[in-house]
Amino acid sequence: SLRLWGYFESTCRPGTERGLHFRDIQFVVFYNEEEKPELGFKLVRDAKGMTDIPNERPQHVIYEGDSPGPLFQNGMLFHLAFLLAKNALEGYETIDKLFAKRPFSGDRISIIPWRKGIEDEPFYPSAFSKGVERAGPISRRIRELGIRAGYAEPPRTHDFRAGSLLRVSKHHTEAERRKHAGQKDNGTYDKHYASTLAADGQGAYFTGRSRKSVLELFQDLSIRRNPFMLQALPAQSRAEFEDSEPIKELQAELRAIQRGDANDDTARKRKTELYRMRRRLETEACRKLREQQILTPSEANTELCYHRSYFDRIRYLMPERDRLANTLFQPAQLRDSLGRSALADLIALCTQTREVQFRPGLEPDKCNCNKSQEDYDLKHVHNCYKERQSVPTTFCFICHQWIFGKTEWKAHCSAHLGDLDTIPKFCDPLTYGGVLAAPGLCPFCLGNENMPPEVRFHQFIHIPAWKKHLSRCVQSRKIAVSSGSSAQYSHLHCQGRPPFASLQKLLFHIEDAHGCQLS
């Protein structure tokens, strides 16, 4: 229920370091209504028009909660994680120590002191520079997350503030709401925050009661969500975009600049501007396409969007994120086993120096040479282990196993080809955090039963080799189509579907449905 600059440095005040600091917060343990210990903190935040009257600044509290709820809604969970990772609490370095803390004898609430010397540090430090985090980057990240979540016009921080104050109004007096929001009179709320859909006229007139829960549902229509909203231009739309006159002109100018003097500052600036213009044009084209989307059950097809598969393809590389993707949506309290598990995983994420520690099957201990293992090198571990084997050895990047012997590898490939659940729908080589998450496969070869299993299931580690192979397969289809054959292909997940109307339609399909972008 605050403006961003109440916690972060305003874009209007660069370099002032105004924002939330540890000195503005008191971390406490208290006995709740059931006489159980509960952690929380009270903060005093900056507010509009209160620079010279700091004693009137709004105060807020965040606490564990006294009943189970989805863990992602628990504000203490994420704060505890980064506080413990930062070792910010004096004498409380672990989860167990902190949860064992009780108020001092005779007290209902006691302060847990900050580590010495941390008081003047920002509570929310910048992710990319020193000092307080800036409001501008936070606002941009919120918008980007909103688009990923399916909001064509994502809710702004003002919308979150208005929604919060609306709910505060249901349980508190007007005076309490004003203090909470840092507002001096009711006019500010009435004019800028109160919903124009304010009363249930039908219920009041005919039944004498207001269905406020129904009103809230209708109020939410002002910010619409499409869970299957396009995240990028589909292949056909992208081809049309690339063929548009503005893009052709822009590309021609870029080529002219690239042929010129590489040290020309004016040309470099113009090149940067052209790339920025291209991104804006592509964003606008995608926005227009989203507006045309009509969500019906038959159109709710996640396969149409390559980007929605991204996390599922890489999550196994990051066990903590993989677990959190499930636990954060489960109802629990922080002190439950589920809450402790989520907290431990978040602390691990805060302290890791790499997003991906290693790939299953290619752990650092597979390397027996004297190479330093401080920086994980998948290629080195793979080659080092393979070269030490006495028989031909192949690593399966799908099921993370080493297969020893050519005959055994052939049988292994046959087993995969006979089990559709083990064949990825997306065939592009995917690398994340410097580690190969998924090998490249050929959508044309996978279902070609005239080929040996080990050829059909060939795994490409490098994108150039994969694209070169794919281009050859496309060229062979092009020759076949020119000879009168239909535009067919044989990815195992698409067998049985009718031929495509043209080779171009086939290429659009393998890009959208299987991640095979050739250009």
With vertex at residue 59, the alpha carbon angle to CA 91 and CA 215, rounded to the nearest 5 degrees, is: 120
Averaged over 206-211, what is the pLDDT? 88
Domain locations in the chain as residue ranges: 4-188, 235-292, 389-514
Tokens representing 503? 């080779």
Task: Give the whole-angstrom CA distance, residue 180 versus residue 167.
Answer: 12
Least confident window among 198-207, 436-445, 446-455: 198-207
Least confident window among 33-47, 170-184, 226-240: 170-184
| 40, 111 contact by CB (below 8 A) | no
How would you classify the pairing of strands 393-396 and 430-432?
Answer: unpaired
What pLDDT sits at residue 246?
94
Tokens representing 311? 């996390």
pTM: 0.85
Q: Kindly report, residue by residue over 318-338, the tens digit of the pLDDT.
A: 999 999 999 999 999 999 999
Least confident window among 172-176, 292-296, 392-396: 292-296
Task: Give the whole-angstrom CA distance, residue 226 versus residue 308.
Answer: 13
What pLDDT sits at residue 46?
74
- DSSP for 229-249 reads --SS--HHHHHHHHTSHHHHH
| 320, 52 contact by CB (below 8 A) | no
**CA atoms within 13 A of residue 305's CA, in its CB half-sphere:** 20
**CA atoms within 13 A of residue 289's CA, in its CB half-sphere:** 19
Specify the DSSP class assigned to residue 375: S
